[in-house]
Chain A
Amino acid sequence: AQSVAQPEDQVNVAEGNPLTVKCTYSVSGNPYLFWYVQYPNRGLQFLLKYITGDNLVKGSYGFEAEFNKSQTSFHLKKPSALVSDSALYFCAVRDIRGGGNKLTFGTGTQLKVEL
């Protein structure tokens, strides 16, 4: 079975500071990993994904994520946070071998960026 853990319910960051939103995963095979963002009363928007190749993945709005196989982690990062980045962030995993096309999501991390 595949699973995702987001250990922080909320992350608070000052605007201009770097941000990190943590994610760890568990799959039986090789993972496809994703980050999505949800703004209030909206659906989920795709941010970035890791399939294979370079462990550092760049995505939309200046976000990036680092895949670490030994630590089974896929943390979301941004060098300089903006107030407009405040939203709910979800990490998701797809088990290439055993999970078909289904995505399994974490419980989400609320990011709050303050002036």
Chain B
Amino acid sequence: DAEITQSPRHKITETGRQVTLACHQTWNHNNMFWYRQDLGHGLRLIHYSYGVQDTNKGEVSDGYSVSRSNTEDLPLTLESAASSQTSVYFCASSERGGTEAFFGQGTRLTVV
């Protein structure tokens, strides 16, 4: 079955380190998204991509970057991790022109 997987599921890192969270989908979806989930804020969009070599900033993109070198993967990089980036991160994908998005299981990141 097609799916979307995130790795790692849990990560603890130190302030100032670079961290990359992986997202891989096998639906061949063109659209991919990264959200962070924080209490009281719901899910907020970090970055998104509508296809290979396409990346766009979301509402909370500062301190994050993404790259899209193929259809299946959209890794999220924290250039220099900060305590404010402690959160649960979700990757999602949807078809081109599609409606609902499908979510991964999430990555819980703790920055100490």
Interface residues of A (CB under 8 A from B): 6, 32, 34, 36, 41-46, 49, 51, 90, 94, 100-108
Contact = CB atoms under 8 A, between A and B. Distances in A.
Interface stretch (B62-70, B76-84, B102-110): B102-110
B90 A43 contact: yes
Interface residues of B, number: 26
A90 B99 CA distance: 16
Given A34-B100, A43-B104, A102-B45, 7 more contacts: A43-B103, A90-B43, A101-B98, A102-B48, A103-B92, A103-B101, A105-B43
A44 B45 contact: no
B67 to A, nearest CB: 19
**7 nearest A-B pairs in the assembled complex, by CB-CB distance:** A43-B103, A107-B42, A105-B43, A44-B103, A105-B42, A43-B105, A46-B100
Interface of B: 31, 33, 35, 40-45, 48, 50, 58, 90, 92, 94, 96-106
Contacts of A6: 42
Chain A CB count within 10 A is highest, among B41, B92, B99, B105, for B99
A32 B99 contact: yes
Nearest to B41: A107
Contacts of B48: 101-102
B2 to A, nearest CB: 14
Contacts of A102: 33, 45, 48, 58
Contacts of B92: 44, 103
B104 A108 contact: no
B11 to A, nearest CB: 15
Contacts of A44: 43, 90, 92, 103
A1 to B, nearest CB: 10
5 contacts: A34-B100, A44-B43, A44-B103, A45-B103, A49-B100
